[in-house]
Amino acid sequence: MKIIKRILAIAVSLGLLAWLMSDNRWQGLGEVARRVDGLTLGLATGGFLLSYLLRTLRVFDEFRAQATGRFGACLRIVLIHNAMVNVVPFRGGEAAFPLLLRQSFGIALPRAVASLFWFRLQDAFVVLALAALVWPGLHPGLKGLAVAGVLALAWWLPRWARAPHDWAEGKAMTARLGKVRDAFAESTRHARFGWAWTLANWTVKLAAQAGLLAALLPAGLAIGAAGALGAELAAILPIQGVAGFGTYEAGAAAALLPSGIPLAAGLQAALALHLFVIACSVTAGAIAWLFPAPAAHQASAAAASDLQSASSDADGAQTRISAE
């Protein structure tokens, strides 16, 4: 099954490349990019930087006990993980997140993987709710029903994970699933403001993409928002193009069709937007890579040294008090 998915993913990306190579569409891509002025480009860049900070706050909030105030280490994890997701084929870059958490904070892989899974679920819930709210041509009653369904599922899932269960007493496979469920429950319990960070991140990220896509088309901001949502919804599909190429553009172009944007124009603008997203993520990830975080054992040793020093100071103070 994995081989079939990878073959289809490669085919989607090659299809986009073949389309670009036909009829000198590369030249058209350059013309599309020249529509963006410096102010729009600067606002989009600032929006992405703010989005990275909001994602970091979500990680810092959940792992505050392990991070012990090291916001910079969390930022490094987020930037490198984001760059890997945008570059490594077949979503393979997701593996960077649990590995970096273990390296930086000594967090066990099951706990880190469960956290990543919960982050992705939160992302999906927020994007689906926002898509239902702003999708053009959708009846208000259907919008309300869709948002209510997403909210109900987002409320129920963590409570189901935390509910008492006897999965650990079952067969080997059931016992393993029980451990995953427990790790997932722990992840949903630790973040105090996880939903707030997620909603803020996606509001900023989609606004930045919508503004840039609107300038690339050119079109109104509402049309740009529809295209940006379509691109992000395509990321939920089980089959992804290599580094997202093909599926991202197809999702955006499909969402733009009801607004009267031709498929070819939508694909070109979406590709230009995608290249900008990748350029931002790779640049930020490369900068973060230049500032290595201390390894988990070094951080633990430093913490132990601080604790021992504090204990020695306390003993010394007590001795002085006794002498007096």
| Per-residue pLDDT tens digits for 74-104 | 999 999 999 998 888 767 788 999 999 999 9
Contact 117, 110 (CB under 8 A): no
Which band of pLDDT confidence, cut at 50, 70 and 90, is reported for residue 301? very low
**Residue 80: its pLDDT value, please?**
94
Q: Which of 81, 148, 71, 175 is nearest to 119 (CA)?
A: 81
pLDDT band at 212 (very low <50, low <70, confident <90, very high): very high
Out of 4-18, 20-34, 96-110, 171-185, the most confident range is 96-110
pLDDT band at 29 (very low <50, low <70, confident <90, very high): low
At residue 324, does pLDDT exceed 50? Answer: no
Average pLDDT over residues 124-134: 88
Q: Which residues of 168-177 are buried (b: 16+ CB within 10 A; e: fewer)?
A: eeeeeeeeee
Predicted pLDDT at 242 = 67
Nearest to 48 by CA among 256, 279, 310: 279
- The structure's pTM equals 0.81
pLDDT reported for residue 315: 44
Amino acid type, 16: L
Q: Are 36 and 216 spatial neighbours (Cβ–Cβ below 8 Å)?
A: yes
- The alpha carbons of the chain give a radius of gyration, in whole angstroms, of 23
Q: For 143, list phi and psi in degrees, rounded to 5.
A: -60, -45
Is residue 273 predicted with pLDDT exceeding 70?
Answer: yes
Task: Assess whether pLDDT exceeds 60 at residue 300.
Answer: no
Contact by Cβ (8 Å): 78, 56: yes
Task: For residues 124-146, give the mean pLDDT.
Answer: 86
Of residues 295 and 307, more confidence is placed in 295
Q: Where are the domains of the chain?
A: 2-20+37-302
For the chain, helix, strand, coil in percent to 5 are: 85, 0, 15
Rounded CA-CA distance 274/52 in Å is 17
pLDDT greater at residue 216 or residue 291: 216
Q: Which residue shows structure tokens 């930086």?
A: 104
Output phi, psi for 235, to 5 deg: -70, -15
Mean pLDDT in residue range 10-17: 68
Give me the percent of the chain exceeding a pLDDT of 70: 79
Return the top range by mean pLDDT from 35-39, 53-57, 177-181, 258-262: 53-57
pLDDT, tens digit, for every residue of 170-205? 777 888 888 778 888 877 877 778 899 999 999 999
Residue 301 tokens, joined: 């040793």
Q: What pLDDT band is residue 72 in, cutting at 50, 70 and 90?
A: very high
Q: What is the pLDDT of residue 137?
A: 74
* pLDDT over 50 at 281, yes or no: yes
